[in-house]
C-alpha cells in the first residue's frame, strides 16, 4: 500500500508580505501542492494523507473548490484529511456543506474516529480540530480497531498547546504508521513508525532547509512500513548566510562576495544575511542594491567598527573621547551600549577633522 503524507500546506498564506516576491511565494504554495497531487498520480499512490492545516485560514467555498478539483484528478487515490489548528472546523465552516469528490474523506469528528477502506485493506484513525488549541495529549488507550487491516493514525500537533506528543509512544503504538502534522520542519523517525513531513513549501524566513513530502509503503501482510523517504519539492528555500567582514572589507567587495555566493547557491532561494566582524569605522555597509537585485529578505548588520579603544584612549585620555570611552566601555556591554559607544566616538571623531 503506497502512501504520500503531507501536512501544513497553508493554502492561501502569503509569506513575506511586503516583499517584491510575496506573490510568487503565495503561488509557490499552491503550485507545490499541485505538484504533490501529480506526484500521487505518477507514483500511483493508494492514498494521500494530509495531516492538518491544508488551509492557512478558514477555507472559503472557492478554496475548497480549487482543492477539490485537484483531488478529482487523482480518482484512484484515496485522499484522507483532518483539520488542524489553522483550518479548524467552525460552526460556520463552508466545509460542513461541501460536497467532496468520491475519493476524498475529511475526518471531521472531534474525537478519534476510524474510517475503513476495505478495498485497500486499510483503516485510518484521525480527528479534526474544532478549537484553536488542544492541550490534552493523545488518549493513553488509543488503539486501532480490532480488524485485520493496516492501521494508520493521523494527528496534527506536537507542541504544548497542540496535542503534546510522546514520540516514543507512537513507536510502540498499535498503529503501523502515524502521519503527523503541525511542525513545519520535516522529521522522519528512524524506525519508520511516524513522520512529520513539514510544510511542502517553507512558510517564513525561519523555516530554512529542504521542504517537501513523505512517501512510504506499507507491507500489506506484515502491516509494517517497508520504505519511508522524504522527497524535496519546494520551489525555494530560505537560506541564512553569515558573512564575515574585516576592516579591509569594502562595500563593493562585500557586494560581489555575497552576490557570487547567492548565485552559487541559486538565486531562486530567499536569503537572510547576517554580517559579522569588525569593519572599517569609515565604512557603513549599504547593500540596498543586493536587496533590489536578489531575493534578500533581511540583512542584519552586526558588524562593529574597528576602533582601537586602547589607542584612542591613550591619545585622548584627557579629553572628551577619553572620558566618553571611560564612561561607556565595560565588560559585557549590551548591544545598545556597544552601539552608543560607536555612535558617540564616531560623532566625536568626526568633529575633530573640522577646522574652525
Partner 1 sequence: MELLDLHISGFGKFQDQDLSFQDGLNIIYGKNEAGKSTLHTFIRCMLFGLERSRGRASKNDLYTHYKPWDQRSPYGGQLRVKQNGNIYRIERIFQKDQRSFAIIDETRGREVTPDKAFLEELLCGLTETTYTNTVSIGQLKSATDTAMAAELKNYIANMNSTGNMALNITKATACLQNRRKQFERRMHPEAAAEYAALAHEIQDIEQDICAPAYQNQLPAYESLRVQTRRELAKKQGEHEILLQRISTGKQVLAKAHFTDQASIANYRSMAEDIYQNYQKEKSLCENRPRSVLTACLMALAVANAALTIFCYTAGAANPLAAMLGIKAPWLLLGTAAAAMLLSLIVFGMFQNTRRLKKDLAGDSQMLQEIFSRHLGDNSLSEKAKQAFDARMEELACLAERLEKSEECVQEQALKISALQEKEKSCDEMISRQQRTQWELEKKLDHLAACKDRMEALEQTLEENKRLQEETAAISLALDTLKGLSATIRDSFGLHLNKTASEIIRKVTGEAYSSLSVDEDLNVSINTPAKLIPLSQASSGTMDQVYLALRLAAAKLVQSGHDKMPLIFDDSFALYDDERLQAALGWLTETYDSQILVFTCHPREARLLAASQIPYHLISL
Count the Cβ atoms, other than its own, within 10 Å of residue 119.
Answer: 8
Residue 66's H or E segment, with its range, is helix 61-72
Give the Cα separation of 22 and 257 in Å (integer). Answer: 26
Q: What is the Cα–Cα distance from 309 to 327, expressed in whole angstroms? A: 13
Please select the residue that binds partner 1; options are 41, 96, 244, 302, rule is CB under 8 A.
96
Instruction: Return the range that interacts with partner 1 (CB under 8 A); candidates 34-42, 52-60, 179-187, 251-259.
Output: 52-60
Indicate whether 17 belongs to the interface with partner 1 (CB under 8 A): yes
* Nearest to partner 1 of 46, 63 (CB atom): 63
58 belongs to the binding site for partner 1 (CB under 8 A): yes
Pick the piece of the chain touching partner 1 (CB under 8 A) from 37-45, 92-100, 151-159, 226-234. Answer: 92-100
- From the list 2, 14, 257, 272, which residue makes contact with partner 1 (rule: CB under 8 A)? 14
Please say which residue, 115 or 340, places its beta carbon nearer to partner 1. Answer: 340
In the complex, minimum distance from the CB of residue 183 to partner 1, in angstroms, rounded to a whole number: 20
Q: Whole-number minimum distance, CB 23 to partner 1, in Å?
A: 12
Q: Roughly how many angstroms between the first and final C-alpha of the chain, as a whole number?
A: 86
309 binds partner 1 (CB under 8 A): no
CB of 178 to partner 1, least distance (A): 31
Q: Smallest distance, Å, CB 131 to partner 1?
A: 12
Which of 42, 91, 141, 332 binds partner 1 (CB under 8 A)? It is 91
Within 8 A by CB and 6+ apart from 75, the residues are 101, 102, 103
Extract the runs of DSSP E, i.e. beta strands, from 44-101. Answer: 47-51, 78-82
Contact of 11 with 64, CB cutoff 8 Å: no
Q: In the 8-state DSSP scheme, what is residue 316?
A: T
> Cα(242)–Cα(245) distance, rounded to whole angstroms?
10
Q: Give CA torsion, residues 35, 38, 44, 45, to 10 deg.
A: 50
Enter the C-alpha cell of residue 245. Answer: 567582514
Torsion of CA 86, 88, 92, 93, to 10 degrees: 90
Query: Residue 69 or residue 343: which is nearer to partner 1 going by CB?
Result: 343
The Cα–Cα gap between 88 and 127 comes to: 11
Shortest Cβ 86–partner 1 spacing (Å): 11
- Sketch the per residue contact string, 139 through 168, with partner 1: x for CB under 8 A, - otherwise: ------------------------------
Contact flag: residue 321 with partner 1 (CB under 8 A): yes
Q: For binding to partner 1 (CB under 8 A), which residues are involved? A: 12, 14, 17-18, 57-58, 60-62, 90-94, 96-97, 315-316, 318-321, 323-324, 327-328, 335-344, 347-348, 350-352, 354-356
Amino acid at each position: 500500500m503506497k502512501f504520500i503524507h503531507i501536512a501544513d500546506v497553508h493554502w492561501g498564506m502569503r509569506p513575506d508580505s511586503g516583499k517584491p516576491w510575496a506573490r510568487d511565494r503565495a503561488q509557490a504554495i499552491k503550485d507545490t501542492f499541485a505538484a504533490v497531487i501529480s506526484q500521487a498520480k505518477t507514483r500511483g499512490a493508494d492514498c494521500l494523507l494530509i495531516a492538518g492545516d491544508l488551509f492557512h485560514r478558514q477555507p472559503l467555498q472557492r478554496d475548497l473548490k480549487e482543492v477539490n478539483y485537484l483531488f478529482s484528478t487523482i480518482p484512484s487515490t484515496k485522499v484522507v484529511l483532518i483539520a488542524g489548528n489553522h483550518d479548524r472546523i467552525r460552526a460556520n465552516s463552508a466545509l460542513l456543506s461541501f460536497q467532496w469528490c468520491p475519493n476524498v474523506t475529511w475526518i471531521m469528528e472531534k474525537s478519534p474516529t476510524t474510517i475503513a477502506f476495505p478495498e485497500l485493506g486499510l483503516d485510518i484513525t484521525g480527528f479534526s480540530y474544532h478549537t484553536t488549541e488542544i492541550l490534552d495529549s493523545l488518549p493513553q488507550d488509543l488503539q486501532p480497531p480490532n480488524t485485520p487491516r493496516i492501521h494508520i493514525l493521523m494527528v496534527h500537533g506536537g507542541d504544548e498547546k497542540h496535542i503534546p506528543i510522546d514520540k516514543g509512544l507512537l513507536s510502540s503504538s498499535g498503529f503501523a504508521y502515524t502521519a503527523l502534522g503541525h511542525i513545519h520542519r520535516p522529521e522522519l523517525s528512524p524506525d519508520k513508525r511516524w513522520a512529520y513531513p513539514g510544510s511542502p513549501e517553507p512558510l517564513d524566513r525561519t523555516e530554512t532547509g529542504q521542504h517537501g513530502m513523505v512517501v512510504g509503503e506499507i507491507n500489506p501482510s506484515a502491516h509494517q512500513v517497508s520504505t519511508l523517504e522524504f522527497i524535496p519539492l519546494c520551489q525555494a528555500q530560505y537560506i541564512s548566510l553569515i558573512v564575515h567582514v574585516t576592516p579591509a572589507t569594502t562595500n563593493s567587495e562585500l557586494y560581489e562576495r555575497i552576490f557570487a555566493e547567492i548565485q552559487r547557491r541559486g538565486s531562486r532561494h530567499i536569503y537572510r544575511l547576517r554580517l559579522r566582524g569588525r569593519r572599517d569605522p569609515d565604512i557603513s555597509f549599504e547593500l540596498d542594491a543586493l536587496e533590489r537585485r536578489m531575493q534578500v529578505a533581511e540583512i542584519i548588520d552586526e558588524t562593529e567598527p574597528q576602533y582601537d579603544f586602547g589607542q584612542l584612549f591613550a591619545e585622548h585620555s584627557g579629553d572628551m573621547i577619553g572620558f566618553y570611552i571611560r564612561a561607556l566601555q565595560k565588560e559585557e556591554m549590551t548591544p545598545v551600549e556597544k552601539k552608543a559607544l560607536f555612535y558617540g566616538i564616531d560623532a566625536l571623531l568626526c568633529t575633530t577633522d573640522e577646522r574652525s
